[in-house]
Structure 1
């Protein structure tokens, strides 16, 4: 029983706290100590719980329940060996106490011995009158083992014994999603809703499953039922807005997102979607207003900064796009998407050195997309750095071997640096991979095409 200062039964707790202040030891029966300890543990006040356990065991040294509380705290503090020793002693006294097996499983789980933890919990299951929590614990152990079918089964057993255990329901959905069993998830949720038709959580989850299956009209209906079940369910309004966007019903989506601002403090996600809907409706001033509110609300949300940047790029206002992407980089200089946009904008403005810096930084941060390598190589060529371009493309080849676009560029670059044999070697490779990309030489290295050896090679490939 959890105690509260607002309940009539808070006398033992008040008495205990008064005792701590005066250092005058008072007597409590063992059940009162259990309630006091449970209260402190549920409040996260471990130091006070430890004091209560110590005093409780001094007054009731044979109390198994108080010793189990001591085990729980020892496990919390990662003192697994003394916790295990105490449990073994308790097991000798009470071999049919399910809580001993539960705490034993807790220790085994912390030691990453999840299989043995499951064995201990199944033993507890045989002894327990209320199995709901144990089913949930077994499900979690199977999750640790990535055995999602078994985990799902035990979370379902948990939900069977307690229809309103929504944490079990969320875990079931997690298993379905990981196993990509969307149809099975929909079937299960519909069955669950037959027994619990006003469960807003289940309707919300059903809507998400329909959304993932692109059944948008069914998803919309499910989110509507979630809202009927709880008209202040913020998540349902957000998800309904996403569905309406997919259906291109932007005005209605906007209403959903705007309503969430009345229910709670604005979320960066809602502000971003409001901006997007305004942009789709051609309301550009309102769109940029909400995009800016998004990054003000959450400066670390990269989608907000990228939305602003793309907005100005669409308006062909590259200077403003550059201004905002620089602001984003100042906040998070390790965001690869920011550097990619930084490079593209500078490229548009013909600021080649800055564009090359952007692509180089993107590569350093792990953006190994083919176009990043190719664009950087082309810029290095324009900057008069063919050797650096070659080095860049040889690195790209490690990720994209036998790529014609890389080979044609290497051919032209080696020819440009007076290494004709290497140029011919890469041209032969390029032609064998894809003859259609010959236009790369025409655009970037037109002089090379006039050389007799190159002409002969191209004629032979026709």
Structure 2
């Protein structure tokens, strides 16, 4: 007959774990009170060992068959190991023992949410609200369901209700910012965070989200001020430093941005994104050696950092090392094959190396991925024009106009090509359109074909638009 021992270690979690493991080693049978079992289960959950945790639950249920808490724990462990039907069965048993336990309905709601059975998830969360003493987290769970349903308006309603109960809930603040961002309601976001800060001026998360909303509205000075308040409240807030750096970049304050980016290293390990951002700042300051150094640090840390590979190419291009730059541009495009900026750089480098066919192929890629890039259309047509392919150049501009009907530059370029092809009547029609779009840019025409400054017909039409 097995010897049975009783140990009450509910106040000593570690001791409970040690005695439990001793029991397993000895293949013995000890008795633990409910709190001790909870401590042991939580210990294995914290160690990310659901198998052992489930074994403890089995022991706990056998010794405390009427304690619903262990059935809920069991359901939780079945849930995290994707055993959903077994989780539902455990919750059903728990509900029979203690139907007023809010945790039962919260967990069941989470499982239904995972299974995309949203109406059943909402039904269980609403039931949990009836029994729970504190409901801010449950309200947030309801918001998550609405987010999964892509109903961000309702998600906002429940997040706000959650925050009314617990203003310290940082997750709620960030989720609210996410919803406002998805709905592109930055003004409403700003209004909410301003009101929130009036009630809790020391919430670094609220200042941070307010700053992000200003940033998205391109109110960079206000964003920087708000980031500064977030940093003042929490000086180790690395994300606030990083985003402040991004705002400074938008204002072309690159030297300041570098210093702010570097401050993130005091509070978190350097990462590839920050190294790349610093590299870009040095690039904009035309300090190419420093820029290249940081871009190299970025790709060393993350070889899949396409922007950093591209940045190395940009620094080499600046130094007219076009052949070398191509190698790095191609590395970037291998990682991000649909990035039009990368293809544009490849097209330009090939052109400078006299590799016209490769340049034209790259321009086709640029315009495939970004047909709204007016500069790319103009450069592409120039390459064709310089090769004596006047018809192809004019056809390229015709395609460009279809994609960018409001761009005066394209109409002026078409005028130049049509004159070069001897199509004077059609050229004059395009000239009228160009002048209607933007008469102040008529000088573009003369920059491209200076001889038209002596064309009386052209000057006469222009005079009607220019006083």
Alignment TM class, shorter chain as reference: 0.7 to 0.9
In structure 2, the CA distance between the partners of 1:19 and 1:359, relative to structure 1 (3 Å rule), is farther
1:294 pairs, out of 280, 298, 321, with 298
Query: Are 2:65 and 1:88 equivalent residues in the alignment?
Result: no
Q: 2:250 maps to what in 1?
A: 246
The residue number in structure 2 matching 1:309 is 313
Tell me the distance in 2 between the aligned counterparts of 1:163 and 1:153.
15
Following superposition of structure 1 onto structure 2, how do residues 1-400 of structure 1 map, counting pairs within 5 Å?
9-329=13-333, 337-359=341-363
Give the drift of 1:140.
0.7
**Corresponding residue to 1:437 among 414, 437, 454:** 414
1:309 touches 1:324 (CA, 8 Å); kept in 2?
yes
Match of 1:410 in 2: none
Contact kept, 8 Å, 2:41 with 2:53, in 1: the verdict is: yes
How does the TM-score come out when normalised to structure 2?
0.75
In the alignment, the residues of structure 2 paired with residue 214 and residue 122 of structure 1 have an alpha-carbon distance, to the nearest angstrom, of: 40
What is the CA-CA distance between 1:346 and the residue it aligns to?
0.7
Distance 1:456 1:158 in 2: 69
1:27 counterpart SS class: strand
Provide the rounded CA distance (Å) in 1 between the counterparts of 2:287 and 2:382.
Answer: 38
* Stretch deviating more after TM superposition (201-210 or 82-91): 82-91
Change (3 A) 1:337 1:48: farther
Conserved 8 A contact 2:296-2:312: yes
Distance of aligned partners of 1:48 and 1:401 in 2 relative to their CA distance in 1, 3 Å threshold:
same
Residues 376 and 102 of structure 1: CA distance in aligned 2, closer, same or farther (over 3 Å): same
CA distance in 2, matches of 1:377, 1:217: 40
Change (3 A) 1:74 1:262: closer
Which has the larger displacement, 324-333 or 30-39? 324-333
Instruction: Give the unaligned 5+ runs of structure 1.
Output: 1-6, 405-432
Q: Deviations over 1:139-188 (max 9, x none)?
A: 11111111212212222222233332211111111112122222222222
Measured against aligned partners, the alpha-carbon deviations of 1:204-235 in whole angstroms (never above 9, x if no partner) come to 22221222223333222222222221222211
Q: Is the 8 A contact 1:33 1:56 kept in 2?
A: yes
Q: CA deviation at 1:242?
A: 2.3
SS in 1 for 2:202: coil
The normalised TM-score by structure 1 is 0.76
CA change 1:385–1:229 in 2 (3 A) is same
Q: 1:192 to 1:230 in 2, by over 3 A?
A: same
Task: Compute the displacement of 1:356 (Å).
Answer: 4.1
CA distance in structure 2 between the partners assigned to 1:222 and 1:403 by the alignment: 38
8 Å CA contact 2:418, 2:424 repeated in 1: no
1:26 alignment partner, SS class: strand
Please list the CA deviations of residues 61-106 of structure 1 after superposition, one character each: whole Å capped at 9, or x if unmatched: 2221111112222223333333333433433443322222223222
CA distance in 2 between partners of 1:144 and 1:375 (Å): 44
Structure 2 CA distance, aligned partners of 1:220 and 1:382?
47
The Cα of 1:9 is off from its aligned counterpart by: 3.7
Query: Distance between the aligned counterparts of 1:278 and 1:94, measured in 2?
Result: 64
**Could you report, residue by residue, the CA deviation over 1:336-379 in whole angstroms, capped at 9, with x for unpaired residues?**
65344223311232212322443466688x56667779988997
Query: For the residues of structure 2 that align with 1:94 and 1:176, how far apart are their CA atoms?
Result: 39
CA offset at residue 50 of structure 1? 0.9
Match of 1:415 in 2: none
Shift of 1:460: 11
Aligned length: 415
What is aligned with 2:453? none
Query: Structure 2: how far apart are the matches of 1:262 and 1:80?
Result: 44
